[in-house]
A and B are shown apart, each in its own frame.
Chain A
Amino acid sequence: MSALNELAQMRRTRGKKRQSLTGRERREERTAFGFLTPWLLGLALITVGPMVASLYLSFTDYNFLQDPQWVGGENYVRLLNDPRFHQALLVTFKYVVISVPVQLAAALLVAIVLDRGLRGLALYRSAFYLPSLLGGSVAIAILWRQIFGAEGLVNWVLGLVGIEGMSWIANPETALGTLIVLNVWTFGAPMIIFLAGLRQIPTMYYEAAAVDGAGRARRFVKITLPLLSPIIFFNLILQLIGAFQAFTQAFIISGGNGSPADSTLFYTLYLYMRGFGNFEMGYASAMAWVLVAIIGLFTLINFVVSKYWVFYDD
């Protein structure tokens, strides 16, 4: 069961009333907290503490060298009036809204083809999965810069069929597109989750449907999609959250500043530039909280909408 299902399940079954503990139970509880000590420390010091601090800093002017100055909601107001912030939002939304669905569609399509008991499944699976392990590295971002550069691989291929290329990276119209291609290229991880999900669908459903004369398309729409919907949902949320946080590729491909013409100014890249380039750490913290709100909102909308298309058989 995925983490998301688990969370949803927990909401449904609220905890029972607790009776007082016996000596043995108390001992067990002490042991449990012993085992949990590293995690609890991490939660307090590395996660929750910094979250609270970051929320506070988002209401201050802070450049790391001087003490934070309380400015109230000023950072958030400035965000509203910051054209580069708007550009960062736009770039990131475009990236998320285009690359995530295309990536998931590719993942599902390939998973379905692979699921049909082909020979060499393991080999294909590896070939498709490898890019998603390499994709986050600086090396692949560098590779992309060259592939989509003026004299890169893409233009060489286009040249073979007589099309004059250009520098896709240096052109504001196409630079974001190269990053979208890079994200779609890493469809291997969701593909593996889809493959695992397809395995769970009993073949007798398909056999019964075939006896009833249902064609391939109909079986896909009526059996595969509904039964796979929790996994589609899981992948969607996961890739969405990941895509909102994309950073390395944008940093390397844009030369660290979102160029050309801010066309690859990803949200997290702009946050980094403000926070660690200009040391406007209060402003960066406000940006971080807006990101949390956006991701939270997207996830919430997805959860609400999921009631209409995600089917749980339990």
Chain B
Amino acid sequence: MTTDRSGIIRRLGRHAVLIVVAVLMLYPVLWMLLSSLRPDEAIFNSGGISFSDLSFDNYVEGWNALRHPFTHYLINSVIITAGAIIGNLVSCSMAAYAFARLNFRANKAFFAIMLMTIMLPVHVLLVPQYVLFSELGWINTPLPLIVPKLLATDAFFVFLMVQFIRGIPRELDEAATIDGAGPVRIFVRIILPLTVPALATTAIFTFIWTWNDFLGPLIFLTDSDAYTVQLALRTFIDSSGGGGGSSWGSLFAMSTVSLLPVFVIFLVGQRYLVRGIATTGGK
């Protein structure tokens, strides 16, 4: 047993280590934020500690540096993200309810297939999907990025919701059945309201992953009219000539703008994010 004093010292030491690590982890992002508020020449070779000469010039410049004002790309991203969220919520909850509660032939086989699709690399689907969507005339529209979500292709969320629905007492369904409710009614009136935490988790993860997605838009959106925020940022590096270009400040400013929604969602939905990750990985 340790004495009180050495216990306190040990605890303080642990906090000190954790704080140092946390600062190291977060400093790059903080540095980007500070750099976005300072003139280019102040960014190079500095740790960003000075708080003088802060201004929003980079934001004004960056906002209008590309072919469209940045608002245009934000709106494109919002449309795709909102569509993906709605798609995942509707389709994944329906599939999850069937897997978790209903008896049908091949339930187990389909469930196993569903689990395996979680691990399938998307790259194997890209070329045929590109061909398919271009045949349909969907290239440069949000459809290739939304429609698959309406078809429950994000199996991770189906699994998350299956886990959650399994935890809801079956007695509730049985009581409703005795009262004459069918599966559709049970799903809408009992299961969905009780699954709200899992739905919130799905919405939040879908938001962050869709917002950050780069590969999908890179393939399916080739016209700058249709670009999302991520693609716009990439154009930005190209136009600023990569490293050492003159517009690191505005590049950082727009990068900060692109991270802001994720950061806000993180602050609001932390609880759900943590629980979502923990329940799919835990026992």
Residues of A within 8 A of B (CB): 1-3, 5-7, 10, 15, 18, 25, 28-29, 31-33, 35-39, 41-43, 45-47, 49-51, 53-54, 57, 64, 110, 113-114, 116, 118-120, 124-131, 133-134, 136-140, 142-147, 149-151, 153, 155-157, 159-160, 167, 169-170, 185, 189-190, 192-193, 195-197, 200, 230-231, 234-235, 237-238, 241, 244-245, 247-248, 251-252, 255, 268, 271-272, 275-276, 281, 284-285, 287-289, 291-292, 295, 299
Residues of chain A with a CB closer than 8 A to B266's CB: 126, 130, 133
Majority secondary structure, B binding face = helix
Once A38-B95, A185-B25 are accepted as A-B contacts, the answer to whether A292 and B120 lie under 8 Å apart by CB is yes
Task: Name which of A28, A32, A138 has the most chain B CB atoms within 10 A of its CB.
Answer: A138
Query: Considering the complex of A and B, which 8 residue pairs feature the smallest CB-CB distances, nearest first?
Result: A42-B151, A193-B281, A139-B255, A196-B278, A50-B128, A53-B128, A32-B104, A32-B102
Task: Establish whether residues B123 and A271, one from each chain, have CB atoms under 8 Å apart when the complex forms.
Answer: yes
Q: Given A29, A46, A146, A272, which contacts B129 in the complex, CB threshold below 8 Å?
A: A46
Task: Establish whether residues B262 and A134, one from each chain, have CB atoms under 8 Å apart when the complex forms.
Answer: yes
| Mask: chain B, 17-30; 1 = CB below 8 Å from A; 0 = not | 11001100111110
Cα-based distance from A56 to B230 in the complex (angstroms): 32
Cα-based distance from A196 to B130 in the complex (angstroms): 39
| Extra pairs beyond A146-B243, A153-B28, A237-B119 (8, CB < 8 Å) | A3-B280, A37-B94, A45-B151, A137-B212, A143-B255, A151-B44, A153-B31, A248-B214
Looking at B50-58, B64-72, B179-187, B192-200, the stretch in contact with chain A turns out to be B179-187
Residues of chain B with a CB closer than 8 A to A33's CB: 98, 104
Residue of B nearest to A42 (CB): B151
Cα-based distance from A159 to B126 in the complex (angstroms): 45
**232-252 of chain B: CB within 8 A of chain A:** 233-234, 237, 242-244, 248, 251-252
B153 to chain A, nearest CB (A): 5
B46 to chain A, nearest CB (A): 6
**81-122 of chain B: CB within 8 A of chain A:** 90-91, 94-95, 97-98, 102-105, 107-108, 110-122
Once A64-B131, A137-B258 are accepted as A-B contacts, the answer to whether A124 and B22 lie under 8 Å apart by CB is yes
Once A147-B28, A247-B215 are accepted as A-B contacts, the answer to whether A291 and B123 lie under 8 Å apart by CB is yes
Residues of chain B with a CB closer than 8 A to A150's CB: 243-244
